[in-house]
Each structure stands twice: as C-alpha cells, then as structure tokens.
Structure 1
Amino acid sequence: MNSAHTHDHDAIVIGAGHNGLVAAVYLARAGWNPLVLERNDRIGGAVRSSELTEEGFVHDTYSTNQNLFLGSPVYEDLAEDLADHGLEFSQSAKPYCNVFPDGTCLRAYEDEERTLDEMRRHDPGDAEGWSRLHDRFETFQRTLLPLYATPLPSVEAGRKLAAAVRETGITDVIDLGQLLLNSTRELGDEYFATPEAKALVATWGLHLDFGPEVSGGAMFPFLETYTDMEEGISITTGGASNLVEALAGILRDNGGEIRTNAEVERVTTDLGRATGVELAGGERIGASQAVIANLAPTVLFDDLLEGYPLSESVERKVDSYSYGPATMMVHLALDDLPTWKAGDDIEEFAYVHVAPYVEDLSRTYTQAVNGYIPESPLLIVGQTTAVDPSRTPNDEHILWVQVRALPSEIRGDAAGEIDATDWENAAEPVANRVIDKLDSYAPGIEEKIRERAVLSPTDLEDANPNLVGGDSVTGSHHLKQNFLFRPFFGYSRYAMPVDDLYMVGASTWPGGGNNATSGYLAAQRLLSPSRLTRASESFEDRFGDEARAVRQWVANRL
C-alpha cells in the first residue's frame, strides 16, 4: 500500500458526470492539471448511452433531453471545441405532447402560432391562457432567468435582481416570484380552462418531484413549457455518451487526466482542509488546491468523510438532506414506432406524456411518497429514433420510457396486484404495468417489442450512488431544499465545511438537469475568488449594501 500522497495535481474531481467534467475543463483551460476519478468503467454519470437491448440499438441510459446544456454558458463557450470532438445534436420541431384516454391529444410545436391553433381547436380559453402565460414567460426570461446561471446568494445575483426591478418594476418582479411559488395545480387552474391543458403543464412538474399540490412546483414546468416550444427538444446525435466524451476530449487537450475504475474511498484531510483522496486498494493522490466532489451530499459526508469532525449544525444539515421519489427506466427495442390512438403525427414527437390528468398525477405522487407502487404511474415516453434515426442499424426504433413516480422502498402495491416488496422482484411486474398502460394509448405496442431492458430504482443507485433510492435528480427540489438552500443553507456556493473541498452536481444549485451550471460556477469560484467570494468578508456584509441599494432605488420610485 502506498501510504503517502503523490502531489501531481492541482485539483482532483471525484466523479466523471458532466458537471465534474465541466469543472475540470475550465480549470485545465486556466492552466491547472486536474485529475478526474470515476468509479465505473465509463464516464458520464447520468449522461450515458449504451446498447442495452440489441447490438447497434443505442439507448440514452438515463437522461436524454439536452436543452439545458445547449442553453448553458458552457455550451456558449465550448461549442466549437465540442464540435471538433464530434459532438452533434438532433433536434425535434415537435417537442412534446400529452395523450388522453379518449384518443385526443394536446401538442406543443416549435411554432407558437401552430401551438395556439392547436389550443384554439381544443378550447379558446386554453389559447387565451397560453398566450397570457407566455407573456409572463417572456418577462421572466429577460429578467429573472439570468439568476439561473448565477451563484446564490451573491452580489452578482443582487445586481441581476436590481436590474430586473429597474427594467420591469417591482410589482412585475413580485408577481413573477408569486407565480413561481405556485403549485402546478394552481398554475393550471389560474391560466387554463380544460383538464387537458392543465395536465400539459402539470406533467412537467413530475419530471422532478413536484406533485400537483407542492408549492414552488410551477418553476420547472413554466420553464420547460415555453422553452421547448421555442427551441424544440434536442438529444445528442449517436447517443448521450458523445456529449461527455467530447468534454473529456477538451479536458485531455488542455492537459487534464481521467481515470476510470478508480473508486474513491475517502477524502483525505489535514488541519481542516482537504488534501486529496484515497482509492479503494489504498493508493493516495494529493491535490494542492482543491478536491471537487461530483457527489450527493450524503455520499460525500457519510461515506467519503466518515469520521471527520463536522460541527453539530453541519451534521444536522447533512442528515436532513432529503431525496425525492424513485424512477424506473424501461428501454424498448421496437420493429416500428408506436401507433398512437391520438393521431398519426404523435409518433413524430420527441416526448409523449401519458399521465393522463392532474388528478392522476396527484394520486401517483401520493401513492409513491407513501411507499406504494402507483396503480398508473406517469410515463414520459421519449421517441428517440423519431428525433435521431442513427440510433438503430436499419429502420428499427427505440423508446426511452421514464416511469415516475415510484417508491424507493416498497410498502405495497396500490392496485393490490404485485406482492413483491423489493425492487429485485417488483421490477418486471411494474414494467408489465408500464407496457399495459402504454398499450392502451398505443394499441399493438407489445407486438412491436423486440427486446426490453428494465432499470429499477435499485439498479439506478447501484450504477450511480448519487441516485439515492433511485431518485433520478439527486435530491428533492422542494422549496426547503432549493435555490440558496441547495444542498443546505450556508453551503449553496459549492464550498463545503472543509477548506478546499467543493461539491457540484444535481444536489447543488441550480439542481437537476443537464445544465452544467454547478461545474461551471464552482470552477469560476476557484479561478476568480476575488470576484465571486472573499474569505475575509461575509456574504451578509457585502450583500447588505447591495440589498440596501435596491431598496433605496425602489423607495425613490414609489
């Protein structure tokens, strides 16, 4: 066993998910020599693709929609380099739709007028509400959305908020804030006339852990509903792994290093600072500047820092970090795309949501959080080959089906049909329920299935320990654990309560999704400490002046 550190690296990144890779890329481009350590034999975390069913059938194993990455400052900076490493995207101008039991459908196109025509045909009240809410989104996009790529809390965030107030007025900013605090049921009831239009919006909430009655659930649906209409939905051409492999190529071009099959067993510390890591097997590697953990907080603190003397306050915060309901993935290899009852063009949409109504989403969420397999879980059906035909060898097709929401630990089955209370035995029966539901909206789908691969919540966590309990977004996004409370108050700007230790990933602001933002912001903090933080000044001292300036500006105009 090598008991001494080797000090070959300025920074060590634990975990080769996209946020860890992004942090390493920016450090390497600034002249650092980062080392990324990945426990698995392949990089990517929850951004990966594999031949899960048949040879040549390339499935996005976990996440698939890359819109957040395409809209990130990282892509703006690195687009040319990423393209040089072969990264391309396939885009659908038919981003999403919801199908309903009576054979109807509501569609959102990458065309506002066409979408409005769809709404008008369904109900003029829905079209009016859609336009009114879109107006609110356009104001939000100009004023508050820039906060999404800003450290929270920070003087920079205060300045952007002040700019929003100057542009649109304090009343509009408060109105937008109130809108974002709505539940998805409240949002739908305020803006739409029919159950179908309300479900079109509310379904996006359950991509995270926002059941229809959860306050603060409106933000993600508000964002996705209109962003996807304006930009379509994009996936990585040839498979999600091409995105992380392109990031890895840029990292290596700039002198960074990646090691796979390198499981970190412990973060080493000395005199209250992180000094490196110890791998399974005993190898120790030193980091002279920083250790960056692309990990869930419970994985970092309970496993890799076990025995470290944390304060009682920090221990309570770690212990109280909560995870959302579980997810299951069902990957299908098909002879042909589904034949949807709702219309011939449905097979061309990137996402088909099978909820069907807000009441169903509410029942599903409640059953899942109470420990019961839902009678009729939400199906988020990604028609991958409708967007990127290169994913199969010939004219075959694949479906990416995310099943939401499910219990991490099973107390029973809400339908009283499945006896198993562990996921090893419940996975296949639940997958059968998924196929049965899918078949009721796309008759004959079972006959088209060549092969299927089922990844249960347990499988997700086994493959990626950050997906605790099968939570696909690494922690609840409810208000108590979002914004400056993510992962916990006082540590939302990536620096952890051990000097030179940082955390990035979906458990940190701005949360889940392939946004690359936490990796980007953590790297900027390390590279420009005088701009983003000053150890000698508390945030309260600095932001207090900014807050007083905003209040004074508002007072002078009221």
Structure 2
Amino acid sequence: MTPADSYDAIVVGGGHNGLVAALYLARAGWSVAVLERNAAVGGAIAGGEATLPGFVHDLYSTNQNLFLGSRAYADFASGLARHGLRFRTTGRPYANAFPDGLSLRVHSDYERTLGHLAAHSAGDAEGFAGLYRQYRRFAPYLFGLYGSAVPSVAAVRQVLSLLRHRGVRGAAELTHTLLMSTRELGETWFTTREARAMAACWGMHLDFGPDVAGGAMFPLLELFADMENGMSVVEGGAQRLPQALGALLAEHGGEISTGAEVDRVLCRNGRAVGVRCVDGSTAAARRAVIADVGPAALYQRLLEPGQVPAPVRRASGRYRYGPGTMMVHLALDGPLPWAAGDELSGFGYVHVAPYVGDLARTYIESLSGLLPAEPLLVVGQTSAVDPTRAPAGRHVVWIQVRTVPPVISGDAAGTIRQTRWPEAVEPMTGRVLAKLERYAPGGTSRIACVTAYTPQDLEAADPNLVGGDSTAGSHHLSQNFLFRPMPGHSGYRTAIPGLYLTGAATWPGAGTNATSGRLTARQVLKDSRPGGRFWTSRAGRCP
C-alpha cells in the first residue's frame, strides 16, 4: 500500500466472514480492500500437507455444512463453483464409539438411524424420534433467528412467527429445551448413557460442558441437521473455500493484500477513516472499516486508548474465551480398524468420549489448568468423505482434542510432568493416540506420520483463537444472543462511527456459517445510504 491508497471500505482480516463481507460490498459496487496478516486468507479455514506429501489435511475447521447451507453460499454458489469450490458429502455423518466394540451411528437415512437406535434401546429410539419431532416443529424459527441480526426487526419477526404458529405454550417448550444443559437434554430424551453421550458430545464442540446451562441448542441443531444433510467437506482441502471467495472478490473488483498486518485503525473527526499497517503504510476508507477480529484486539490494540469510551474498553477486556483445543493430524496406511466394525471407518465424525461423566471431568480439568486424563476425541475421517485427500488406499484423519487448558498447571492423570505446551505436546499426543488405539486396535500401527498443533499454535495461526479457543470466544448465555460480543454492544456497529466488527465474536458466533459477514455488510450498506446512521461524519475529535 501507499499513502495514496483509498477505498470505499477496508476489511481488516481475511477470515471467511471478512471475505464474505467484502464480497457483498464489492458486488454492490464498492471498492474494497482486504488486509490479511498471514500469507494466505482463510483464518481457521485452512488446509495443506500437514504430514506427508500427497496427504491434504484440513488444519482447523473441516465440517463445512454451515457454509454449504448458508445464505452467502446460496448468493454466490455459481461464482464460487466457477473458481473451483466443490464439496463432497457423506450420508454417514457421525457416530459415537464406546468400550467393548459398541457404537451408535447416525445415517442420513432416518429410518435406518431409528432402526439402529432401536436395536440398542427402544427408549433411545423413541426419544430420538420425539426430539426430532420437536426439532422439525421449531427448526424454521431457530434457523431464521440464527440468520438474523440480534437485535433486529427480522429477529422480532421470527419470535412473533413462532408465537403465531406455535403459541405461547410452544414458545415456552422451545425455550425450556434451549436453556437445558446437554446433560439435561440427554436425560430428558434418552434412556441409555450411550445416547446421552451422543448428544452431549456436540456441546463440547463449543464450550458447553455437560452441566452448562444453555448448552442444548447446538446439539439440538447438529443432531438432526447433520442427519438430514449428511456431512460435507471441501473437495481437495478446506483452503479452497477462502481461495474461491478471494478469487470471486477479485472478479468483482476487490483487492486482497496478504502479509499486511494492520496495527491501527485511523480516526478523524469522530469516525474511522482508514488503517495503518506495521510497515508504516496507510490506506484510507471513505465509507467503512470492518474488523474481522475479537473485541479486545479491536478496542485495546487497533484503537488508541483515547479513542475508545472507557466503559467499552473495560467491557472488551472482559470478553471471555473458552478452553483450548489441540489438533492431531494423521497420515494412515489404511483406514482406522474400529473395534465397533469396519463400517465405522466410513463416518465423517466419530466421537470418542466415551460417556457424559468423562466429558464433565474433561471440561472441569481443562478449566482448572489440567491436561485432561480422558479428553474428547472428535475423529474426522476426512478421506472417507473426500478420497482425493490421500493416495489410493491411504487416509488422512483429523482429530480435534476437546478440551485442553490454554496454560498448563498440571496433569489430571499425574503422568505428564511438562507444563509448557512445546514440551507437553509430545506426551499429550501419546495420550490421544493411546486412547484412539483402545477404540481402534491396531490403528496406531497404520500411522505413517503424525503432526500435532497446540493451543499456542492455533493462536499463532489465527490470533482470534485466543488461548487455542477454536470458537473465538465463549458461547455461554452471558456472552451470546443479545450479549455477543458484550452487553450493550450487540450487532456489528462499534463505538466508533464508520467502524464495524465482524467474525465469530459477533452473533451468531463460531462456525463457518458466513452469517456475521453477510449481516455486517448489510449493516454497512444500510448505514451508508442517505439518511443512514453514519452517512455524514460526526463533528469533533475521535471520542
């Protein structure tokens, strides 16, 4: 960049939400620049040969169902396909493995799933069917709310529609379910500990340990949305998703600069007017600056202290992150030989907990700074969904280890003495592989190469994943819905006119749903119209 560079809008950070926001603005005829600190755009959607040549891994995010089902994808699908974005989908989305060769499996075929559950427990099959009926009754309103800004007229319409069609009793029924913990959800609907664990594992994908109130919403959606839609990954590697977004942005006239780290949002006459990079170069933004970062990074690093109202600065410092995540990538000489049977090697995800009590202990241990003795393994069998990821007959496996402490104070099992992640990663990887071996005997003998990423590695790759929190901020009730990212600061506007916040720290939170980017762009376009909130600059100095 040079000091003469000037755009209608500048997007700080090239995560998928930043790219989507830029794409909508560029389609509207705006000149847009995306500035990304890394060598490639994508944030937590990244891929590469993490183990051996020819083995393509999704480094962080892998299940792209949310993006595939998003309004953004619907709006740009043909252009993204033109730039090489394709998906592979399996009708065997997820399963749980338990001791003694037992498993629960969910297929896209509902009757087959119900039959499998009935063979395990008639009560579980009845509960699954009952919960599915509730999901079908309320999913349109939930997904409608999920795709609306909060608060907004659109969100109010969803609530009113719920009341009109389902009544006060129906709204109360849904609210009661959503406020449950995942343990309560399982105990309400299922009879066996296996089925209860199947539900609770989904809560751990976010930061909902089994006993955290409000944890039931994500399992309610994932249990059945994945069943109905299967599980999808990007053909050829997750990196092709942001690559396609970037290429389509360029087609619409947008610019992307990588290796361009922004260290300051520039203000003049009470509004954001541009950015400065660490190399001293600047660029002007005539209409808007959009920051795809966390609130603490925005208000405490990118803005001068005097530019931020003191209450906002204090609130941003209280933004909470959840436990950390560790990633383990395997290159295998054959499929995992699950004790539960060969069919299990064809499922997109296999959760290895095994039970709700194990999840609860893992969560508390992680919050206490302890390496968990029995972490949840989310085993993503990527090449079973997309065979292009590995040479013929060989496989890549993606393991998300949930949850682990960002900073280690000890080991719950008392066997790992190291308390720094660079030294603890090897023995902790050994623990993960030993657990996997118990459920897939002989699997470790098929490992050709293993690569592990610590919570520190995740944050280094994407600064929004503070402490290795793969969800970019806690989703507990105090920091969700109207309170995301913080009370009194929902939506995508910030305390500085002309400056907007997007990404997983804003509603609807984590996941490659592209919703935040789309809604941010819509807010920017609305505010820029004659009579819009920020159409004219406010007088005076930056606050």
Per the normalisation by structure 1, the TM-score is 0.94
Displacement after TM superposition at 1:306 (Å): 4.0
* Counterpart residue number, 1:354: 352
* Counterpart residue number, 1:429: 427
Do 1:144 and 1:161's aligned partners in 2 also have CA atoms closer than 8 Å? no
Displacement after TM superposition at 1:510 (Å): 0.2
* Counterpart residue number, 2:541: none
Deviates more, 1:139-148 or 1:208-217: 139-148
Q: 1:158-177: CA deviations, max 9, x gaps?
A: 11211121111121012101
Q: In 2, distance between residues paired with 1:292 and 1:309?
A: 16
Displacement after TM superposition at 1:530 (Å): 8.6
2:57 is matched with which residue: 42, 56, 59? 59
What are the residue-to-residue correspondences of 1:293-372 with 2, within 5 Å?
293-372=291-370
Displacement after TM superposition at 1:74 (Å): 0.5
What are the residue-to-residue correspondences of 1:51-130 with 2, within 5 Å?
51-130=49-128
Q: In 2, distance between residues paired with 1:413 and 1:341?
A: 28
Displacement after TM superposition at 1:7 (Å): 4.5
Displacement after TM superposition at 1:363 (Å): 0.4
* Counterpart residue number, 2:481: 483
Do 1:371 and 1:411's aligned partners in 2 also have CA atoms closer than 8 Å? yes
Q: Is the partner of 2:85 in helix, strand or coil? A: coil
Q: In 2, distance between residues paired with 1:191 and 1:153?
A: 32
1:40 is matched with which residue: 30, 34, 38? 38
The residue identity in structure 2 corresponding to 1:101 is P
Amino-acid identity (%): 53
Displacement after TM superposition at 1:142 (Å): 2.3
Q: In 2, distance between residues paired with 1:225 and 1:109?
A: 11
Displacement after TM superposition at 1:100 (Å): 0.3
Unaligned runs of 5+ in 2: 535-543
Q: In 1, distance between residues paired with 2:444 and 2:427?
A: 15
What are the residue-to-residue correspondences of 1:115-154 with 2, within 5 Å?
115-154=113-152
Displacement after TM superposition at 1:308 (Å): 3.6
The residue identity in structure 2 corresponding to 1:432 is G
Q: Is the partner of 1:206 in helix, strand or coil? A: helix
Backbone CA RMSD of aligned residues: 1.5
Unaligned runs of 5+ in 1: 537-558
Q: 1:23-76: CA deviations, max 9, x gaps?
A: 000000000011001101111100011111111111001000001011111011
Do 1:7 and 1:288's aligned partners in 2 also have CA atoms closer than 8 Å? no
* Counterpart residue number, 1:373: 371
1:396 is matched with which residue: 381, 394, 397? 394
Per the normalisation by structure 2, the TM-score is 0.96
Do 2:5 and 2:282's aligned partners in 1 also have CA atoms closer than 8 Å? no
Q: 1:417-455: CA deviations, max 9, x gaps?
A: 111111111111111100000000001111111111110
Number of residues of Structure 1 aligned to a counterpart in Structure 2: 534
Q: Is the partner of 1:341 in helix, strand or coil? A: coil
* Counterpart residue number, 2:418: 420
Q: In 2, distance between residues paired with 1:186 and 1:438?
A: 28
Displacement after TM superposition at 1:407 (Å): 0.5
Do 2:526 and 2:532's aligned partners in 1 also have CA atoms closer than 8 Å? no
Q: 1:376-425: CA deviations, max 9, x gaps?
A: 10000000000000011332111000000000111100011111111111
* Poorly superposed stretches of 4+, deviation over 6 Å: none
Q: In 2, distance between residues paired with 1:249 and 1:469?
A: 31
Q: Is the partner of 1:492 in helix, strand or coil? A: coil
The residue identity in structure 2 corresponding to 1:391 is R
Q: In 2, distance between residues paired with 1:24 and 1:142?
A: 28
Do 1:144 and 1:164's aligned partners in 2 also have CA atoms closer than 8 Å? no
What are the residue-to-residue correspondences of 1:439-450 with 2, within 5 Å?
439-450=437-448
Q: In 1, distance between residues paired with 2:77 and 2:122?
A: 41
* Counterpart residue number, 2:26: 28
Q: In 1, distance between residues paired with 2:427 and 2:487?
A: 41
Do 1:66 and 1:235's aligned partners in 2 also have CA atoms closer than 8 Å? yes
* Counterpart residue number, 2:247: 249
Q: Is the partner of 1:35 in helix, strand or coil? A: strand
Do 2:91 and 2:231's aligned partners in 1 also have CA atoms closer than 8 Å? yes
Do 1:17 and 1:43's aligned partners in 2 also have CA atoms closer than 8 Å? yes
* Counterpart residue number, 2:195: 197
* Counterpart residue number, 1:547: none
* Counterpart residue number, 1:267: 265
The residue identity in structure 1 corresponding to 2:43 is G
The residue identity in structure 2 corresponding to 1:184 is T
* Counterpart residue number, 1:550: none
1:509 is matched with which residue: 491, 507, 510? 507
